[in-house]
Structures are given as C-alpha cells and as structure tokens.
A and B are shown apart, each in its own frame.
Chain A
Amino acid sequence: MKITYLYGENRKKVDSRKMHLNSIPAPFKFLAITLALTVTTGCKNENSKVNDAKPTLASKVNKELPNHWPLPDTYVEGIPVYDTFTGIEPMFQFDNDTTYVVNFWATWCKPCIKELPYFEEFNSNRKTEKVKVVLVSLDFPRHLETKLVPFVREQQLKSKVVVLLDGKYNDWIDKVSPEWSGAIPATYIYKGRQNHLVPSPFETMEELIEVVKPFL
C-alpha cells in the first residue's frame, strides 16, 4: 500500500530533477542523472525491505528532501483526482514547518459551500506565512465534470483543490482522525505532528483564524 505513495513521491523527485538538469553543465549531467537514479532506486529498495533497518545514504537523503505532493491517479480539467486514500495520504503526513489546512467538502454540501469563502480569503491573506489551504472534494465520481469543475471555474477558487474518490469511508476516516464522524464539512489542520480536527462548519472567518492561529 505504501509503495504507491513512495512511487508517487519518487516520480515527483525525478521530475523536479529533470527540470533542474537544463541548468546543469553537460559534463555533470551524467553524474546528476546517476545520482537521481540512485536515490530513486535506493528509496524503492528501502521501501520494499521495511524490516531492514540498515540506514542507507538513500534514506538519509530522502529525509532531507522537501516534501512532495503525492501523484494523483488522474486529473479532471487540471484538478488532481485520487482514487484511494492511500494515494492521497502523504498529503496528511508532510513533516515540515508549513501548516496545512485541509478542508473536506463537496459541491452538494451547503454548509461546505457557505464556508468556502473563508478558506479562500484565508488563503489569499496569508501569502507570507507558511500555511497551505487544501480543499479536498468528496464529490461523487459522476459529478466531477458536471458539478465540481463548473463550480471551481465559476467561483474561481484560488486554493488548491483536489478530489478524493475513495468510497470505502470506514477504511480511511479514522486515518484522518478518529474524532471525525465522517460528516462534512470537516477541517483537519496540522503542522508536523501537531494536529486538530474541526468536525463542523466555520460560521465566521474569525473562527477559522482562531483555530489555525496556534499552529502559526
């Protein structure tokens, strides 16, 4: 299960390295590619032998690398779509100094739509702070193109929007937080290992700020 996640992460690593390659002088390109491949393969090896506790260069490098967004299964009009919670799980495990405000919502959920402007405003007002708003849509698969995409377009949402399609809710709700009943809206805020779940809508912008403030 975890392999999917590391695979996604590794894919991203390679991708970002590729982008840097253009700025690297030719003689060093080979070295850089080799190193990149070593790291990638190294991580995979480490992953496939979970019980093998031997610290490797790869695992060291892995820890020092910045966190990467998990690779989605598909996109719908540019919106990343994750089929399973396993696929999106790394988004809940970033270990850095950014505060992640992850809001679960859907276009059919009225209280969700009502509180969305708070997240949008929060997102745009906090450009200088290390805080990232992610709107995780739990819309029905058949509504992505007919409801979600038009909504995101019409509302011109600036926050990061992703879709989670995993319908086996009882398998993953507790992984977000055992405190969560599964009702939306719900907002999971975390930084490193500090976290907090708000299982209800925000009625005002101030409520949202108050809850996020202790993390900043």
Chain B
Amino acid sequence: MKQLILFTLTLGLFSFGVPIPMVHQVDDSAAYPGLPGISVGDKAPDFNLKNIDGKQYSFDNIKDANGEAPKGFVLVFTCNTCPYAQANEQRLIDLHTAYAPKGYPVVAIQPNNPASKPGDSFEAMKANAKAKGFPFLYLFDDKQEVSPKYGATKTPEVYLVDANRIVRYHGAIDDSPRDAEGVGEKFVEKAIEAIEAGEDPKPQTTKAVGCGIKNT
C-alpha cells in the first residue's frame, strides 16, 4: 500500500473536537483509481452504456416518464450483489415512481466487474431487474470506466445531475442506508425539491455507505 504524507492537520481537528496529531494519511488512490473524481458543481461525465433491454443510453437520449428531456437525473451506482444495494432497491423504485413523472428519472449504473462479482453479470442484472420490477434504466458499465470517471466507490452511491449536466448532490439516498424503516431524512428527495425550488440542496454531499465497487 502506497503511503503518502498528505498531512492536513485540519482533518485531524474534527475527529473528536480536539486537535489530534495524525501519524500519516494513506493515499487510497491505489485502492480507488477513480478518486478524486468529480464533486458537486462539476460537470457530470457522459456515458454510453447498454441497458438491460439491449439499447444504448447516454444523457442525450434518456427521457423522463412523460417522454421529455429530464430536468435532472438520479444517477445511482448500484448492483445486484451488495446487501446495501438490495436494501435500497425498493427505495429506488419508489424514487423513480414519484419523481420520473416530475422530470427526475432514476438511472442506475452497475459498475462491478462480473469477473470479480459473477452475480453482477449482464444476465444477472436482467434477471434481478425483472424479479424486482425495476421501472428505471439499469445500465451495465461493461468496461468499468464510468464509475472511475465519477470517482464513485460504493454501491449504492447517488449523483443528482441537473439538466445542465451539473452535479448538484452526491452521496447517500437517505440517512438510513441499511434499514428502510429507520429513514428520517431523504437526502435525494430533498435535493430534488431544492433544485425544483431553484435552490442548492442542503446537504450537498453525504457519505454513501455500501459495498466497495469492484471495477477490476
């Protein structure tokens, strides 16, 4: 593991509210080649990926539930195999059902390499989407090149992209990634409502919790 002294004392300051001298910081770019990727305010990288229906999709030809160009995209890196992804399937279905008619469709991208995760093969994606009745696009990042461009490291991990292709929110779907019944704050819904109201989402970023993306 490559270790670099990226030393920032300020980071240590937040640990427990007292200054904590940090020994050293690990550069995890080795583990996550995509980092740092993009942040809120950055242009969302385009993609051209195959959906489970066999058709290719990119920002240009994705439509909302009314067949219109979307006002935003709930881009979510997710997969079949991760327990956190599974715990959020129904929540994504609900999001799409509620917000695709309002111009914000869910666009799911499966970033894992089936060589590492056989349960995330294109065939397995089709089967899972059929079994769960995914109403949204479920795209296969077959070359594992889209998640590194975004800097996504986990499933599920959301990038809310507006009509200008600018990332407006990045992180978790809500504040309870594991238990649907424990949800208090719905980050993505709130972010969509903020954009609709012409405001910046609050918060703009949260930490997405889930399984590491296996893109090798």
Taking CB atoms, residues of chain B closer than 8 Å to A183 are: 153-154, 209-212
State A179–B178 Cα separation when bound (angstroms). 21
Please, which residues of chain B bring their CB within 8 A of the CB of A170?
171-172, 175, 206-207, 209
Using a CB-CB cutoff of 8 Å, which residues 169-216 of chain B contact chain A?
Answer: 171-172, 175-179, 182, 184, 206-212
How far does the Cβ of B194 sit from chain A's closest Cβ, in whole Å? 17
A109, A141, A200 interface centre (most CB from chain B within 10 Å): A200
Q: Given that A169-B207, A194-B23, A215-B23 are contacting pairs, would A200 and B18 also be in contact in the complex, using a CB cutoff of 8 Å? A: no
Contact A181 B153, beta carbon cutoff 8 Å: yes
A114 to chain B, nearest CB (A): 12
Residue-wise interface mask of B (13-52) relative to A, using a CB-CB cutoff of 8 A (1 in contact, 0 not): 0111011111111101011100000000000000000000
Cβ 8 A contact of A197, one of B26, B83, B154, B211:
B26
Partner of B176 from the list A141, A168, A173, A197 (CB cut-off 8 Å) is A168
The 9 closest A-B pairs by CB, nearest first: A200-B31, A182-B209, A169-B209, A167-B178, A196-B23, A182-B207, A178-B14, A167-B179, A193-B20
By a CB distance below 8 angstroms, the chain A residues around B211 are 109, 183
B residues adjacent to A (C-beta < 8 A)? 1, 11-12, 14-16, 18-26, 28, 30-32, 83, 87, 153-154, 171-172, 175-179, 182, 184, 206-212
CA distance A184 to B155 in the complex (A): 12
A41 at interface, CB cutoff 8 A:
no
| Alpha-carbon separation in the docked complex, A171 to B18 (Å) | 18
A167 touches B177 (CB 8 A): yes
Check if A179 sits within 8 Å of B24, measured CB to CB.
no
- The reply on A203 being an interface residue by CB < 8 A is yes
Give min CB distance, A165 to chain B, whole Å: 9
> Measured between alpha carbons, how far is A97 from B12 in the docked complex, in Å?
20
B-chain residues with CB within 8 Å of residue A197 when the two chains form the complex: 26
- Do the beta carbons of A167 and B23 come within 8 Å of each other? no
A195 touches B20 (CB 8 A): yes
Contacts A175-B15, A215-B23 given; 19 further ones with Cβ under 8 A? A140-B87, A140-B178, A167-B176, A167-B177, A167-B178, A168-B176, A169-B177, A173-B209, A178-B15, A181-B153, A183-B212, A194-B22, A195-B15, A198-B1, A199-B26, A199-B28, A200-B28, A200-B32, A203-B1
Decide: B31 and A199 in contact? CB cutoff 8 A: yes
Give the CA-CA distance A174 to B205 in the complex, in Å.
13
Could you say which of A176, A195, A202 has the most chain B C-beta atoms within 10 Å of its C-beta?
A195
Residue in A93, A184, A196, A201 whose CB lies within 8 Å of B24? A196
A72 beta carbon closer than 8 Å to chain B: no
Q: A177 CB to closest chain B CB, in angstroms?
A: 6
Q: Give which listed residue, B1, B153, B176, contacts A207 with CB less than 8 A.
A: B1
Query: By the criterion CB–CB under 8 Å, are B21 and A194 in contact?
Result: yes
**Chain A contacts of B175 at CB under 8 A?**
168, 170-171
Using CB atoms, name the residue of chain A closest to B6.
A179
A140-173 vs B: 1/0 string, CB under 8 Å? 1100000000000000000000000001111101
Q: How far is the CA of A194 from the CA of B212 in the complex (A)?
A: 27
* Cβ-based interface call for A108 (8 A): yes
Q: How distant is the Cα of A201 from the Cα of B31 in the complex, in angstroms?
A: 9
Query: Within the assembled complex, what's the spacing in Å between the Cα atoms of A176 and B18?
Result: 13
| Closest residue of B by beta carbon distance from A196 | B23
User: Once the chains are docked, how many angstroms separate the CA of A215 from the CA of B208?
Assistant: 30
A194 vs B22: C-alpha distance when bound (angstroms): 6
Which B residue's beta carbon lies closest to that of A183?
A: B212
The docked-state distance in angstroms from the alpha carbon of A199 to that of B12 is 15
Chain A contacts with B in 198-212, Cβ cutoff 8 A: 198-203, 207
Chain A 36-48: CB-based contact to B (< 8 A → 1; otherwise 0): 0000000000000
